[in-house]
Amino acid sequence: MDEPRFEAFGRYSRQRLFGPIGDEGQERLSRSLVVVVGCGALGSVLSATMVRAGVGKVRVIDRDFVEEHNLHRQLLFTEQDVKEGTPKATAAQRHLLAANSQVTVEGIVADFSPDNAERLVTGADIILDGLDNFESRFIVNDVALKLGITWVYGGAIGSVGMTSVFRADRRPCFRCLMNDAPTLGGLTCDTVGVIAPTPLTVAALQSAAALRILVGEDIGPPRLTFLDVWEQSFTTVELDESGWEGCPACAGEYEYLEGAAGSNAAGLCGQNAVQLYLPSDRPVDLEVLADRLRRFGEVAGDATMARLTLGGHEIVAFYDGRVIVRGTSDPAVARSLVAKYVGM
């Protein structure tokens, strides 16, 4: 007797036919919890792939709203989301459930921070990185090590990207490789641009690694993959698991998760402003930073600071790594603006 039509042509039928997944792998996916931190270009693909693959519960965390300049690369969102000023996590939940009502999708509008990181990822089978700044990634790395959760890193800018899987029981961890967050004035997609194929390709590799892990496959030794979609080049480097002594995170010192490192945001009393201190081992090149910021608005300053006026906000960057964001008392908003326009 022929198999029932719903089996032959069911939602996951083609995925079940793929040998490494099969029926058992599909069942594993249906019991999994995936946390996607950040829902921009990377997070859009990551969350959509997980939901469409039938992962039982997908939690999407993002602090920003949908803006028009997101639409060329952030595939979940629409012009209507821009018109309504919808938070990305809220819009993601709505669009993802429209694609697959059989799974649970939880959109959380929040700044991923030391205050909420453990609560938001506890119980996760894997964490997927859709972030746009290194400070938040160090928090992900800390909480993943502390709770023993595997996470998949991805980064994309211009036409280049890279990705890697970090397991709590293997070295190196993310901080082993990166040591500390880049200094103030680092490049971001908002300052040097990005073409859509870059995050889409990086996120595809992240998603494939996540599915492989969730169905129970060993992904092999640690490695870092670099790509340039414009040049159509890929390079994979295997990472030696030894020789990473001295990493505080591997030693159980979770400085970013505990708030001892990072931007140390603080509200300025009565000023509707937030100050962030981004430690730097060298003075910021304010002249270079000011030239780049002029693309976005009026910039003033001197040898000690650069001031960008941006709509209802003002961002003042100082040579010692301090940044003051005026026009908000919300540290999450301040961090978002600094990550986008100044780089951290």
Under 8 Å between Cβ of 203 and 41: yes
Per-residue tokens: 68: 């028009």
**Number of residues that this document lists for the chain:** 344
Contacts 24+ apart (CB under 8 A), 254-257: 254/142, 254/143, 254/145, 254/146, 255/142, 256/114, 256/135, 256/138, 256/139, 256/141, 256/142, 257/114, 257/117, 257/118, 257/139, 257/142, 257/143, 257/146
The residue type of 193 is G
297: left (phi over 0), alpha (psi -120 to 50) or beta: left
DSSP 202: H
Q: Phi and psi (nearest 5°) for 120?
A: -75, -25
Residue 176 designated active-site: no
Under 8 Å between Cβ of 174 and 149: no
d(CA 25, CA 219): 15
Active-site position among 39, 189, 247, 250? 189
DSSP 313: E
Under 8 Å between Cβ of 298 and 289: no
Per-residue tokens: 49: 């792939």
User: For residue 331, how many C-alpha atoms fall within 13 Å in the half-sphere facing its CB?
Assistant: 16
Q: What is the dihedral of CA 149, 160, 261, 282, to 10 degrees?
A: 160
Q: How many CB atoms lie within 10 A of CB 108?
A: 20
Active site positions, annotated: 189
